[in-house]
Amino acid sequence: MKRARKREETFEKFNPLENKTILLGISGGIAAYKACDLASMLRRSGADVHAVLTKNAKEFITPLSLQTITRNPSHCEQYGANGEWRPEHIDLAKRADLIIIAPATADMLAKLATGICDELLTTMVLASKAKVMIAPAMNPTMMEHPSVVHNLEILQNRYRYEVIPPEFGEVACGDWGSGKMASVETIVAAIASRLVSHGAMSGKHIMVTAGGTREPIDPVRFIGNRSSGKMGIAMADAAFARGADVTLVSTVEVDRAYPVILVETAFEMQEAVEGEFDSCDALVMTAAVADFRPLSVSTNKIKKTESEDINLELTKNPDILDLLGRVKKKHQVIIGFAAESEELLSNASQKLKRKNLDVIVGNDITVPDIGFGSDDNAVVILSEDGTRENLTRMPKRAIAEHLCDLLASKFAAMEKTPAR
């Protein structure tokens, strides 16, 4: 009996969202019925939850249900007296620590991406500086529509909104595919990890390298590799979404709200990375840097000759990671990647030690459909403290989120360790 009470007390005391004000935005889709469970779980986790329903959401769920569950008035109207001198959308928007929109319909995504404020909810989002998370839910064909994909890209990459991806399964209309709103547990876990770990990444300067370098042979030819930059861009996007100051050094051109330094060769990448390294809290080298470059670059296009053979003399490029591993400061974390075609574990672990890294992410590039160029990867993560994690095939963005969690925990551990 005594033991049972102790467990209950422990549970009651576990309020990870205590003192957090969460604005729960609900738009008009069938998944709106799950908002009650979400509100309940958030409240039981300690959060002060305020539900904001769009006009269409009220077709699926009542403000009264949410009011009862959240123990706060529900909000629906853009206009009208609320008895306070300050407009409601400004007051609540200012107080919120986080805004979660679940479900977010295609219509809601379009309004958020373009800044339309014809509802209390969209107006509040614009009037708030809080972190915004969105859990889309819709028919799978709608989810794949280029306009929805485009709007999600804008929300993630321009506005730093965090998307909690929908799940695969049967949706309400009977179709199968990706469009089911993420489970309530997944959403609450994502919110908790954002509100709890956000502090650890916020304001940290994270430099990420992406893509494959190109080493010129002559004005038209180069030595290159198959790296698409997807892994590095996913890493930079994930860190940026968590509030980090991100610099991306990339061989692939991307339009982002954070600084992107475009480079081509290993030398250019070295120059860019070294120029920023001192101000960095972490460096994540996903780039595939050419180990060799042509010894001399022809100023004119090399002409076909009578001879069947042509010899290209190569010379070693600097190893950027190796050089920076030697000068890294105690507060800096370096994560390298290892692309291996054999002996993945032992080769990755040798690189971890030789280059004085904190973490190395090894991927087996002989496995078809993952690694170079693909949206997915499967990796083994080795840390200098001897820990090892295997991540089976998953989207590169999910791997990036995992690495952000790892970085956040390393920063948090450093802050706890007293400076000597």
Contact call for residue 288 and ligand PMT (CB under 6 A): yes
The pattern of x and - marking residues 377 through 396 that bind ligand PMT according to CB under 6 A reads x-------------------
Contacts 24+ apart (CB under 8 A), 322-328: 322/354, 322/355, 323/270, 323/274, 324/273, 324/274, 324/277, 324/283, 325/355, 325/356, 325/357, 326/356, 327/277, 328/356
User: What sign has the CA pseudo-torsion 134, 139, 141, 147?
Assistant: negative
Residue in 51, 108, 363, 411 binding ligand PMT, rule: CB under 6 A: 363
Is the CB of 26 or the CB of 287 nearer to ligand PMT? 287
Is the CB of 165 or the CB of 395 nearer to ligand PMT? 395
Beta-bridge mates of residue 250 = 210, 262
Residue in 124, 289, 381, 407 binding ligand PMT, rule: CB under 6 A: 289
Residue in 264, 319, 376, 405 binding ligand PMT, rule: CB under 6 A: 319
What is the closest distance, in whole angstroms, from the C-beta atom of residue 265 to ligand PMT in the complex? Answer: 11
From the list 62-70, 134-142, 144-152, 221-229, the region that binds ligand PMT by CB under 6 A is 221-229
Contact call for residue 268 and ligand PMT (CB under 6 A): no
Eight-class DSSP state of 212: B
What residues are annotated to the active site?
A: 173
Residue in 28, 103, 136, 371 binding ligand PMT, rule: CB under 6 A: 371
Contact call for residue 35 and ligand PMT (CB under 6 A): no
Contact call for residue 229 and ligand PMT (CB under 6 A): yes
What is the closest distance, in whole angstroms, from the C-beta atom of residue 143 to ligand PMT in the complex? Answer: 23
**Quick check: 227 and 233 in contact, CB under 8 A?**
no
Q: Distance (Å, rounded) from C-alpha 113 to C-alpha 272?
A: 32
From the list 101-109, 161-169, 284-292, 302-310, the region that binds ligand PMT by CB under 6 A is 284-292
φ, ψ of residue 347 in degrees (nearest 5): -65, -40
Beta-bridge mates of residue 75 = 52
Residue 48 Cα to chain centre, angstroms:
26
From the list 45-53, 171-179, 254-262, 371-379, the region that binds ligand PMT by CB under 6 A is 371-379
Is the CB of 39 or the CB of 235 nearer to ligand PMT? 235
Cβ contacts of 307 within 8 Å, gap of 6 or more: none
Contact call for residue 321 and ligand PMT (CB under 6 A): yes
Distances (CA, A) of 413 to 6, 17, 197, 331, 407: 29, 21, 12, 11, 10
**Quick check: 318 and 290 in contact, CB under 8 A?**
no
Q: Distance (Å, rounded) from C-alpha 180 to C-alpha 136?
A: 8
Is the CB of 182 or the CB of 335 nearer to ligand PMT? 335
Q: Distance (Å, rounded) from C-alpha 40 to C-alpha 66?
A: 9
Contact call for residue 139 and ligand PMT (CB under 6 A): no
What is the closest distance, in whole angstroms, from the C-beta atom of residue 291 to ligand PMT in the complex? Answer: 5
Residues in touch with ligand PMT (CB under 6 A): 227-231, 266, 285-289, 291, 317, 319-321, 336-339, 351, 363, 371-373, 377
